[in-house]
Structures are given as structure tokens and as C-alpha cells.
Amino acid sequence: MTLRLSSVQHPDKGLVDIDIHDGVITAISTAGTTGTDAQVHNLSNHIILPGFAEPHAHLDKAFLADRVDNPTGDLLGAINGLEAVRNSITFDDIVQRAVMAAQLMSRNGVTSVRTHADTTEGGGLTSVLALLEAKRLCASFIDIQVAMLLSWPVTGNEGAQNRALALEAIRAGVDVVGGCPHLDSNPKGAVEYFLRLALDHNLPLDLHADENLRSTSDDLDYLARLVASDNIVHPMTASHCVSLSTQDETTVQKTAERVAAAGINVVALPHTNLFLQGRDTPTSTPRGITPVTILRTAGVNVAAGADNIQDPFNPMGRADPLETASLMVMAAHQLPDDAMQMVTSNSARVIHNHSNPVEIGSIANLVAVPAITVREAIAMGPPDRFVVYGGVVITNQKRNIK
């Protein structure tokens, strides 16, 4: 089937017509200059963007805010609150909420998402299997990657059960290896374990790294040193990287240079880190956002994600990358065009190892937002978005799960 998106504003090319055939962009021409027999969708007063990519989500926790308490408001409070009700969270419950979250993301223009799945002794593979089922159910309108989020410890004798669980998750079909080395009693040993696990099974690595305000926390830097020492080339991502914001500029600069040389992606997560971090510092409260500008200047691919959707880790959140981009402008001091890149092409590189620009030959995963400029789109965040996934216009009817 051939589609034409007519009279749409391209950020670099002005007002254009975009032709799509067999799921691929086949032509981009000045608006109104070429005829067509295609099905035409008039998108005047819309800006066309690559489909949003959500590089870091927790769909198994989505919409739990009214069921799970976090009385302290910090990271461990959220973790403890979730563990207290773990037995009430069933496979069907997770699938239902994950599908709802995926539908919301799709309405907002997200065409791909990497979600982490709790992989714990108490919960076993329930989240992994439920999110793999949600991935299957939603495949017609959004691409879901499932990353194991392995519980701790993973080192020493006490980590044996979790290490065995990781192998079960891989056999079950997870797409990505992940965990939280900063919560292990031996963080460096945990980083080494996760890197070796990812390499041994040829799966991308995505760590929750340095999610604290301790200036001595150095998961990211240690990972970069390991990669350099063995000349490793492998898809790797470090999410959060909060502790960098507490270190001096020279230290961060050196880490950033090592991370860039290692090819490690970094994902900033402003929503959740603004909510969870710094609660014990009532004045001059740290923002808890990784130093994005230093990382980007060094050449690191920095993406931005929403992380949690209305759960004990963040009771807010609309699963909207334009909200994420807005926070990157206001809280991380990024320019609108750069913030938009962090939720589109940079995030796509995290998930798929390549970007997907609006150009001839690209897969037609697109979102048209009723705005004229990137800044206006971020500022207004209009809800009525025109979404194309794999060359198919995605309507609410197509998001229905039977």
C-alpha cells in the first residue's frame, strides 16, 4: 500500500509531501509539486518527526501508584513498597497494565520502547513472561524490547540464585541483559558479571548505573574501563548515571571521554530522578540528572526517557516523550532541537543501534505533531498526533487487543 503524507512541515526540508510504500519512505518532495495515486493524508500545520523511541521504561510497574505506597519517597522506599505487595501482582495483572501503557505510548507517538522486567527471587520470571506476552500482543502497533532487571546480589555465594534466574530469563527470551550493580555489595564485581553475561549470550547490555548521589559511585566509569581494557565492541547502555552530577567537572570530563571511546550510550531519566533523588537535602537540593552537556560534548550518545509511569518510583508521568523533552530543556539545560533528538534518533540508537531519520529509505515509523516548530511541539505537547508504524497509520482501532 502507498501512502502520501501531504503538506507536512519537515524540520530540515520545509513543507513537503512524503510518500511511503511497503513500510519504507520512498520519496520526499516539495509540497504540491508531484502528483500521486496514493492514499493521501493532509497534515498541514503538523511537523513530521521520527517515531518517538522510549529507551527506558518499566511497563510491569505502570499504573501501580494507587496500589503501592512509597512513604519515604526515595528509591529504596519504592523498592520496599513494591516488594511488600509482590504476591498480589499477577501475570494477568502485569499484561493488562503493560498493554495499557503501550497503547498510551503509541497514542503519544512512540513506535519503539525498551522496558525492563523485574527478575527477582520473589517474583521469578512473572514480569519477564508477562512483558514478553505484552510484546506479542502489541506487535502490530509498537516494537517492545524486554530487558531483564535482575535483582541483587549477583556476586559471591549469596548471588547464586539470582545468577541462575538470569539464565532462566535468557532462555525465556529476553532481548537485553540488565541489572543494578550499584545495589550489589560488590558493585565492580556486578559490573563484570553483567558485561560477561551479555557478551556470552550476545545480548545488548543495559545497566541501571550509579542511581545515587554518592560521588564515589563509579559503575559507568568502571564499565568504560573494562571495555577499553579488552577492546570490546558491543551494544551497551548505562541508564540514570546520577552520581556523575555530584562529582567535580574534571572527573566527569575524564569519565565522559572514556564512555565515548567505549561507545556506551547514556540514558538520562529526568522524571524519576527528580522525584526520587535528593530528599535528604532540603536546601540546594540536587536535581539528580546526569551531566548531559559534558557527556554530549565528549561525544557520548545521550538519550532521554520517562522511566516510570504512575508507580511508586514516580506517581506522575504521561508516557509522553514530549514531556521528557520539555524536562530536558528546563532541568538539564538542553536546547529544544537537542532535547528532541534525545527522544527520537538518540533513543533509537539505544534500542536498535541505529537512528531512523525522516529520509528516503528509512522505515516509516513516524509521528506528526500539530505544531510548526520543534520548540512549539515540545512546549505545547498537543495530544492529537498522527502515528505511522511500519508504514501503517495507527488508529485507536488498530491498538485494540483482542
Provide, rounded to the nearest whole percent, the portion of the chain with pLDDT above 70: 100
Position 87 pLDDT exceeds 90? no
Q: At what angle do helices 126-137 and 91-107 cross, to 10 degrees?
A: 40
232-246, pLDDT tens digit by residue?
A: 999 999 999 999 999
pLDDT at 402: 64
CB-based contact 342:374 (threshold 8 Å): no
Element spanning 262, H or E: helix 249-262
pLDDT at 231: 96
| Residues found in the chain | 402
User: What backbone phi and psi angles, to 5 degrees, belong to 25?
Assistant: -70, 120
CB-based contact 298:256 (threshold 8 Å): yes
Cell of 11: 524540520
pLDDT at 36: 92
Query: What single DSSP character describes residue 311?
Result: B
Cell of 235: 551494544
- Average pLDDT value for the chain: 97
Position 119 pLDDT exceeds 80? yes
Cell of 34: 508531484
Nearest residue to 344 via CA among 362, 331, 330: 362
Element spanning 390, H or E: none
164-194, pLDDT tens digit by residue?
A: 999 999 999 999 999 999 999 999 999 999 9
Cis amide linkage into residue 153, ω under 30° from 0: yes
325-377, pLDDT tens digit by residue?
A: 999 999 999 999 999 999 999 999 999 999 999 999 999 999 999 999 999 99
Position 1 pLDDT exceeds 80? no
Distance in angstroms (rounded) separating the CA atoms of residues 325 and 341: 9
Q: Could you tell me the pLDDT band of residue 83, with boundaries at 50, 70 and 90?
A: confident
Distance in angstroms (rounded) separating the CA atoms of residues 271 and 307: 7
Distance in angstroms (rounded) separating the CA atoms of residues 103 and 387: 12
pLDDT at 372: 96
Cell of 244: 556523575
The count of C-alpha atoms lying within 13 angstroms of the C-alpha of 250, restricted to the half-sphere facing its C-beta, is 0
Cell of 143: 516494537
Position 200 pLDDT exceeds 90? yes
122-167, pLDDT tens digit by residue?
A: 999 999 999 999 999 999 999 999 999 999 999 999 999 999 999 9
Position 42 pLDDT exceeds 90? yes
pLDDT at 76: 87
Provide, rounded to the nearest whole percent, the portion of the chain with pLDDT above 90: 95
**Hey, what domains does the chain have and what are their CATH numbers?**
2-50+358-397 (2.30.40.10), 52-352 (3.20.20.140)
